[in-house]
Homo-oligomer: A and B are copies of this chain.
Amino acid sequence: MSACDTCIVRNRAICSSLDSNELEMLNTIGRRRILAPGESLIWEGEDSVLVANVIDGVLKLSTGTEDGREQIVGVVYPSDFIGRPFGSTSGHGVTALTEAKVCVFSRRDFDAFAREHPALEHKLLQRTLGELDRTRRWMLLLGRKSAGERVSSFLIEMSERLVEQGCEGSHDQPLKRFTLPFSRQQVADVLGLTIETVSRQFTRLKSEGLIDLPSRREVAILDREGLVAEAG
């Protein structure tokens, strides 16, 4: 019995395209790995040697400039795919924000396997198209939205994506209350703002009664309507 049989993302990750024989084969070329918060799996600009499925935890994708400015260009959750298949270099680093469990493959092995399993490539294509849609929506935020709109949009998105997709029946209601997997600085790096501006917007939203901040990392959405309106 392979590790895949008990995998909690088995039915949501791209692996769901495979039957048990194929899964067995895939299992032989992959291995599990645990990442501590802050630990990186892939570095910006390095050769694309690894790809992986996220089993548990949250990771950031980030790029930066020479002089140290950073931009988080993506956030991945359980069942998401990471790394750059069919390409030579990875344009961004991948770093765990929480403790994270991933299922890692050598890119060469994965590429070869994928080319022989069109259903897998199809799942990967679907995921990539979805990610591209999401990324483009984020460009509107970075290019055109004010600090208040950015922070509000961010909290709405978080409340939607952090839903623990445990039980299949749960109809993915956005969360009213959640723990941010980001520090204030990381929120700033997602939104293209400074830490101070993010902090001020948090306190403003709180003072206006739209959210509550029980602790540094926790957020409660008190007035979702209002927050959506603020998100522009």
Contact = CB atoms under 8 A, between A and B. Distances in A.
Interface string A59-91: 001011111011101100000000011110001
Interface in A91-132: 91-92, 115, 118, 121-122, 124-126, 128-132
B232 A143 contact: no
A136 interface: yes
A138 interface: yes
A135 interface: yes
Given A71-B143, A122-B115, A131 B132 contact: yes
Interface residues of A, number: 43
A80 to B, nearest CB: 13
Contact of A136 (B61, B118, B130): B61
Nearest to A150: B143
Contact of A139 (B87, B115, B126, B135): B135
Given A86-B125, A132-B135, A232 B65 contact: yes
Contacts of A135: 132, 135-136, 139
A19 interface: no
A144 B65 contact: yes
Nearest to A139: B73
23 contacts: A65-B145, A65-B232, A67-B232, A69-B144, A71-B139, A71-B144, A73-B140, A74-B136, A84-B133, A85-B129, A86-B129, A87-B129, A87-B130, A121-B125, A124-B125, A128-B128, A128-B132, A132-B132, A135-B139, A139-B139, A142-B142, A142-B143, A144-B192
